[in-house]
Structure 1
Amino acid sequence: MNCVALLLCCNWAILLSSTVQGYENLALKKKAWQSNLDDFYYNGSDLVYLGAHLAVDGRKENLALNGRQCARSSTGQTAEWRVDLQRIFSIQSIFIQYMTDNRVWGLGNVYYSSFLGFSVYISNTTNKEDGVLCFRDTKYSGVTIPNPVNITCPHHGRYVIYYNNRTHKPYPDGYSAFVWTALCEVEVYGCSTPGYYGENCSIPCPQNCRQRRCHITEGTCLGYRCATGYRGIMCNDECPSGFYGHDCKESCSTHCIVSGTCDRVTGQCIGGCKAGWKESKCDTMCSDGTFGKNCTEQCGECLGKETCDHVNGTCVLGCNTGYQGTTCTEGGQS
């Protein structure tokens, strides 16, 4: 190995050791899948298939096709590989060791051209488009593309997806005309215990983060998603008076008995509703024929069976024959 290559490897080793410290490889021995057929080689007596699982077997000492430590699919216009972490984890970084055939990495290596242009996603489904794009190569060349590569991507997800394609000509200089997976190891580092963050995953996420999910290094609630009734990057600010719900975006009803005052979580009016309104949020007018506090009063004999005012029971058009008063409840006796 020449001095430049050795220096590059050492620099990457330093970067990796500092990046993954305190985090667990969540992908080790997990179920993996790759598009296209598994590639294979003939060992003199048998066909040896290079299945997707070889990229999460924990081995990356032999980076050759026949080393039995690397996954590789058959060639195509697209190549996709993914690992199922089996549940949603808090992820910090993703390490990828691409196949080298145990040769010095760079322009003289046959594999660099099929690595160029790759992208990595974290998703809660097997569809990469449902997830977040962690990285897409748009600037590397055969001289500059590193191998291995470490991608910092602090997100929550169940699937980590590697993708590459050659579907839109012309391709940039150095790109192969086809792609395959050729992944010797993919390591996904993060916290194995939900609800924690920090270098050693030892600090509890703020209790008001929604689903107790927070940024793996900073502890901020992801996407500022707070439990109902709270807001702020750490979700420790209660909704101000007059507001409630997710991110405190809902306004308390003006029909609460104390206008605009309600429970910050549910929106339920504290003390009940003003006359003419009902339900816990006081957002529903009394049904026809009823009025007053809690809508428990019955309308009187309004003219033509018209309904009364939902607040005070007044018959706007007057009373049926034989009745009188603003609510048409007086009279009616023979």
Structure 2
Amino acid sequence: MMMFVVILSLCFLDISECYENLSRRPSTVLSLSSRFQTQNATLANDGVRDTIYSKCSHTAENQSIAWLQVDLGKRYSISKVTMYYRDDGSEGWRPYRLRQFSLYVSNTSANMSATPRTRCYTDNTTEQDLPKNIIEMPCKQTARYVIVETTYDAHDDQSTGAMLEICEIEVYGCKTGKYGDNCTSCEGCKTCDINNGSCGCSDIFCGIDCEHSCNKTCENQICNRTTGVKERLKIVIIGGSISAVIVLIAVTVLIIKCINKRSLPSGQDTGYVEECIRSSFHCQYKFILSRP
């Protein structure tokens, strides 16, 4: 009983420790856009949070873009991402290269030429400042891939090109269909908010299990997050249906009016009805007196 209370207290003190670190799952695979010497991507999920150079992954120099990708193997409900960036603890090296990076999630790999993504975080540090080397980034999304990416070339760095030196990246969350500190099952849906359990998908994903990308399935139109149906197309269909019903009602009313003219007073010519029918929707409201 005492052990349970201690664990529960730790959850309230640090929520991240109550979610699973998905980066450390055996099925998780890390990759880099390029590699500098022997600084492999696997250094970023070995469980070591040291931020000295030898413990960090490192992309190559002279690149226009640099990224590190965490492939979780399948979609998971993500709560947040914590990143430990290189900091040698000396004035001789400072984290210039980390400025203006972005954190994305996606259901397609960064290797793809066109990757629909949701951006969770962007660093806005200017050249006069330096970002923190340990950053916790909220990212309430359901996705397979977590991507840290930059195109920033630090002018105050002797090396050129965009570079990343990530020592450890921790992706906290649950399996899809789970939420909360203890990864409780969602109620009434397959995918729900990682924190409160409310049903729904993230901004660019749709479908019962958030398996479709709205950018692809819905062609950049507003997407129904449950069905994946194009909302604008649905509006057009509904509008067209309403218009058709209105026209049908109008035609019916005109026909009824025309037919009612069959019961004209004896002083009027029944040729009126024939004229109405021949002129389709436009009944000519004129009465022709019958000849004696």
Normalising to structure 1: TM-score of the pair? 0.52
Counterpart of 1:206 in structure 2 is: 187
Q: Percent identity?
A: 26
Aligned-partner Cα distance in 1 for 2:74–2:191:
13
Counterpart of 2:170 in structure 1 is: 187
Residue 226 of structure 1: CA displacement? 7.7
Match of residue 56, structure 1, among 34, 38, 45: 45
Name the SS of the counterpart of 1:55 in structure 2.
helix
Alpha-carbon distance change, 19 to 109 in structure 1, aligned in 2, over 3 angstroms: farther
Match of residue 197, structure 2, among 201, 219, 223: 219
Match of residue 165, structure 1, among 147, 151, 176: 151
Question: Which runs of structure 2 are paired with 1:1-334 in the superposition (5 Å)?
Answer: 18-28=14-24, 30-36=28-34, 38-40=35-37, 49-61=38-50, 63-66=51-54, 69-75=55-61, 76-101=63-88, 103=89, 108=91, 110-127=93-110, 129-139=115-125, 143=129, 145-166=131-152, 177-191=160-174, 193-202=175-184, 204-207=185-188, 209=189, 212-220=190-198, 221-222=200-201
1:112/1:142 contact within 8 Å kept = no
Counterpart of 2:265 in structure 1 is: none
Aligned-partner Cα distance in 2 for 1:78–1:136:
15
Aligned-partner Cα distance in 1 for 2:160–2:115:
24
Residue 59 of structure 1: CA displacement? 1.1
2:86/2:167 contact within 8 Å kept = yes
Aligned-partner Cα distance in 2 for 1:92–1:175:
37
Alpha-carbon distance change, 198 to 142 in structure 1, aligned in 2, over 3 angstroms: farther
Residue 201 of structure 1: CA displacement? 1.3
Aligned-partner Cα distance in 1 for 2:36–2:159:
17
Residue 72 of structure 1: CA displacement? 0.8
Corresponding letter in the other structure for 1:195? G
Aligned-partner Cα distance in 2 for 1:77–1:122:
21
Residue 129 of structure 1: CA displacement? 3.8
Aligned-partner Cα distance in 1 for 2:176–2:207:
16
Alpha-carbon distance change, 110 to 74 in structure 1, aligned in 2, over 3 angstroms: same
Aligned-partner Cα distance in 1 for 2:36–2:72:
24
Q: Give structure 2 stretches of 5+ with no counterpart.
A: 1-9, 209-226, 246-276, 278-292
Aligned-partner Cα distance in 1 for 2:17–2:126:
27
Q: Which has the bigger relative contact order, CA under 8 A and spacing at least 6? A: 2
Residue 175 of structure 1: CA displacement? 11
1:95/1:151 contact within 8 Å kept = yes
Residue 180 of structure 1: CA displacement? 1.8
Aligned-partner Cα distance in 2 for 1:213–1:115:
33
Aligned residues: 202
Alpha-carbon distance change, 109 to 216 in structure 1, aligned in 2, over 3 angstroms: farther
